[in-house]
Amino acid sequence: MSNDKLKILVCVHKKDFFLNDDVYMPIHVGKAISDLDLGISGDNTGENISVKNKSYCELTGLYWVWKNLMSSDVSYIGLCHYRRYFKFVTGPFNIRRFLPVTAKGFERADLLTSNVESILGQYDIIVAKPLIFRYSLAFDYNKRHVGKDLKALESVIKELSPEYMPAFHEVINNGNRLSPCNMFVANKDILNDYCTWLFTILQELETRIDLSGYDPVQARIWGYMGERLLNVYVRKNNLRVKYCPIIGIDDNAKKKNILRYCWPVLRNLVGFSISKMQNKHIVKL
């Protein structure tokens, strides 16, 4: 793919190592509320929601791309993080979801984007290989976050996008797989349709959920919900999906034995099957 057809946004919020070339475009997310000068463009130009970065996380970068890059000649747009990138070139036996490398190892990592065009010639969207939970995504959200917020999300989708409800129940209530990090690559038509739907949902939720009592972790609510909604969108629209592993920079990275990787995945798959038979995987919203 020619470099002018593909842009992958690299969301950065602090001084660290990140890629910056003809394809990878770093952007300082939350620039409007930051005192740092990272020497790169910020998400506070043009039409933006940069001031909401503490609750929207990397989605302020996605919003900026949607509102400011759509009129360019770029055909495909993606999003990744300063320490998380897609590995687009994978072997037939590469089953790992996350590939940790040290910063020194990252410099040698295979981050070639030359085959993205051929991938998107066969698939509609590239997303991260999914996390596999022992229980449903609804159960997991209630355990890790503020459970009532998921009820509010369901209500908003039911009101604004009722055609998405079957996919919502299948992914959130009955599913245990989540492609995380709000990372994806797709053509501009899909990005525009997804962002129109996503931000309409989240902006309505902002009027219904008061974040004043939330700690900094739980205040990242719209980023968390965005991760789940990307999966709902993919399911509802029957998109042809290419799952790619994530290369993550971790200076404490150690190579895992493949069996140590497979065991928790197998354990969660079996556990989820048992919980479904016992009807314990569903949380009534």
Q: What total number of domains does the chain contain?
A: 1
The answer on pLDDT for 242 being more than 90 is yes
Q: 197 or 96: which carries more pLDDT confidence?
A: 197
| Residues above pLDDT 70, as percent of the chain | 85
**What is the DSSP secondary structure assignment for residue 149, as one 8-state letter?**
H
Residue 103: inside a domain: yes
Give the span between the Cα atoms of 112 and 266, in whole angstroms.
31
Residue 1: inside a domain: no
Look over the chain and give the mean of its residue pLDDT values, rounded to a whole number: 89
Give the span between the Cα atoms of 265 and 83, in whole angstroms.
23
The answer on pLDDT for 253 being more than 60 is no
Give the span between the Cα atoms of 94 and 215, in whole angstroms.
38
Contact present, 80 and 9 (Cβ < 8 Å): yes
| pLDDT tens per residue, range 43-93 | 999 999 999 999 999 999 999 999 999 888 999 999 999 889 999 987 665
Among 93-97, 119-123, 130-134, name the one with the lowest average pLDDT.
93-97
So what's the pLDDT on residue 150?
Answer: 97
Give the span between the Cα atoms of 139 and 284, in whole angstroms.
9
Residue 283: inside a domain: no
Residue 282: inside a domain: no
| pLDDT tens per residue, range 155-194 | 999 999 999 999 999 999 999 999 999 999 999 999 999 9
So what's the pLDDT on residue 95?
Answer: 72
So what's the pLDDT on residue 184?
Answer: 98
Average pLDDT value for residue range 107-121: 83
Token pair listed for 37: 């000068």
Q: Which amino acid is at 266?
A: L
So what's the pLDDT on residue 138?
Answer: 96
Give the span between the Cα atoms of 145 and 147, in whole angstroms.
6
Residue 108: inside a domain: yes
So what's the pLDDT on residue 4?
Answer: 78
So what's the pLDDT on residue 97?
Answer: 84
The answer on pLDDT for 255 being more than 60 is no
Residue 285: inside a domain: no
Residue 284: inside a domain: no
Tally Cβ neighbours within 10 Å of residue 278. Answer: 8
Domain of residue 131, residue span: 6-277
